[in-house]
Amino acid sequence: MKIVVWNLKGGQGKTVLSLSIALLRGSYVVTNDTYSPIEKVLPEGHALQMDPDDDLPQVPDDIELIYDFGGYPDARVIEAVKQADAVLIPIIYESPLEMQVTINALEEVERYTDKIVVIANKCQGDDVEKVREVLGQFYDYPVLEIKKSTAFSKAIEQKKSMRELMESSKLLEFHYKKPLAQLEELLSFITE
């Protein structure tokens, strides 16, 4: 299984989503971003930081690989998108105008795949509805919600999955329930 997490727009949660999924499922993460924290967070051998002239790694389909590409043009993004079982496009809602870069990213990606899932990320209030409303004018890709939560940064900081953090504390068990449920919903959506 290959998952690409991408948006041309920076800071939308590509790395946070990639790492949260990998910590939960033991997946491998590959990035083209030299400043990425993935090697510090994931177990030895589970993260690969490609050099600018490296080809995509060749791995069998039964290995779960997540591509966390930086928000800049790179021919390898297209290559990975063509091979991907799912392409996740995270977007943090600010305003309809701010969504233009994400729409450009969608237009680029949909030339190569239809396995696109938009992730309305770091949601508060009715953000997910607003994302659905704006994108719905152009596309009918599924839009799934991931709420704003400290669970994501805590898991990454502590190099543990959200589930492990919840098992270690009654308080966190309650507090992280919703974000974990949303992450699992997303995973069952793309793996079904």
HSE-CB for 40 with a 13 A CA cutoff: 9
- Binding flag, residue 14, ligand ATP (CB under 6 A): yes
Beta bridge partners of 5: 68, 88
Binding of ligand ATP by 10 (CB under 6 A): yes
Residue 39 binding result from ligand ATP, Mg ion, none, given CB thresholds of 5 to 8 Å by partner type: none
Among 153, 158, 168, 169, binds ligand ATP (CB under 6 A): 153
With the CA atoms of 180, 181, 183 and 186 taken in that order, what torsion angle do they form, in degrees rounded to the nearest 10?
A: 170
Closest CB 36 distance from Mg ion, rounded Å:
6
Residues contacting 13, CB < 8 A, separation 6+: 90, 92, 119, 121, 122, 146, 152
Map residues 14-43 to x or -, x wherever contact with Mg ion holds by CB under 5 A: xx----------------------------
122 touching Mg ion, by CB under 5 A: no
Stretch that binds ligand ATP, among 13-21, 94-102, 164-172, 183-191 (CB under 6 A): 13-21
Cα–Cα dist 23/160, whole Å: 6
Side chain identity at 140, as an amino acid letter? Answer: D
How long a stretch of residues is the chain?
A: 192
Give the residue with the Cβ less far from ligand ATP, 61 or 189: 189
**CA distance linking residue 106 with residue 68, whole number of Å:** 16
Q: Which residues bind ligand ATP (CB under 6 A)?
A: 10-16, 33, 70-71, 121-122, 146, 148-149, 152-153
